[in-house]
Structure 1
Amino acid sequence: MAPMPKSLSEASLQLEQQLCFALYSTSLAMTKLYKPQLQQIGLTYPQYLAMLALWEHDGLTVSALGEQLHLDSGTLTPLLKRLESADLVSRQRDDEDERRVMVRLTPAGKRLKSRAMRIPATMLDAAQCAPTEAQTLTRQIQMLRNRLSTA
């Protein structure tokens, strides 16, 4: 393999040329925009993600929820404890397999969904992003995440 010309090598180390930095700084900007929206409904960003997963599929096991959120149990357990303390979810051992813990929405957790319904549109407006553009970006980032996960 031929050595890279010096200019290409130096350019590859410029901060603004880094895909990882673009993703990182965009994530920071996105969560900063979410913060006031989520404060209005009493959730942190990671809690919001867990609630999104449960609003979509209530009654997940802790391990299935962790897989969906890409979180390990050491991160997920304290998050679920806080949601349980807020009376938004309940955790119970599975009757069929006591090794599994099921996470279910409480009535308050189910009601919170209606208050969260405005958040996605608010975020699209803030990003000045059409729904189709957001869907395309989301698919591209998911494909990148999946490739990186298998690398």
Structure 2
Amino acid sequence: MARLHKPFLEPLGLTFSQYLVTLELLNGSPRAVSDLCDRLDMEIDTLTPLLKRLEAVGVIMRKCDGSNERRVLFDLTEPVRAMQNELRNVTENIRIACQCTPEDLEDLCRRLEGFVRPASS
């Protein structure tokens, strides 16, 4: 999947993992690291370096939670929010490149989810 996304993400300056984090923040932010870990099914040891790189290149910024000073929240920067349409179009571009219908893409996502979270026996 990462290789398939690469030509669409390179112009945006993002890797596949960075893209997933950015999309999740587009779907609702600011967000705590623990929330991002849960939503992306990533370990904190994997996500923390990604967040640091995204912050270093100006994609995200960190904020203190007003209700809990020890809790750090992450949000997208305004320039990245301005690229929202381009970011959201990547999935559509992949679908078109693969010659998939929207239904095919939904089916593929369901099947891939089954590999990640197999049914309990």
Whether TM exceeds 0.5 here: the answer is yes
SS at match of 1:40: helix
Identify, as 1 or 2, the structure richer in strand.
Answer: 2
AA matched with 1:93: C
Corresponding residue number in structure 1 for 2:82 = 111
Gaps of 5+ in 2: none
TM-align CA RMSD: 1.8
AA matched with 1:59: P
Shift of 1:140: 3.0
Higher RCO, 1 or 2 (CA under 8 Å, sep at least 6)?
A: 2
Gaps of 5+ in 1: 1-29
Write out per-residue CA displacement over residues 56-82 of structure 1, whole angstroms, 9 at most, x where no aligned residue.
111111110011111111111111111
- Post-superposition, which runs of at least 4 consecutive aligned residues in structure 1 deviate over 4 A? none
The correspondence for 1:99, drawn from 70, 77, 94, is: 70
AA matched with 1:91: R
Corresponding residue number in structure 2 for 1:36 = 7
- Give the TM-score, by structure 1 length: 0.72
Equivalents in 1 of 2:45, 2:79: separation in Å? 25
The correspondence for 2:18, drawn from 37, 42, 47, is: 47
Say if 2:62 and 2:75, in contact at 8 Å, map to a contact too: yes
Shift of 1:144: 4.1
The count of aligned residue pairs is 121
**Aligned-pair identity (%):** 34
Corresponding residue number in structure 1 for 2:94 = 123
- Give the TM-score, by structure 2 length: 0.88
Which protein shows a greater Rg?
1
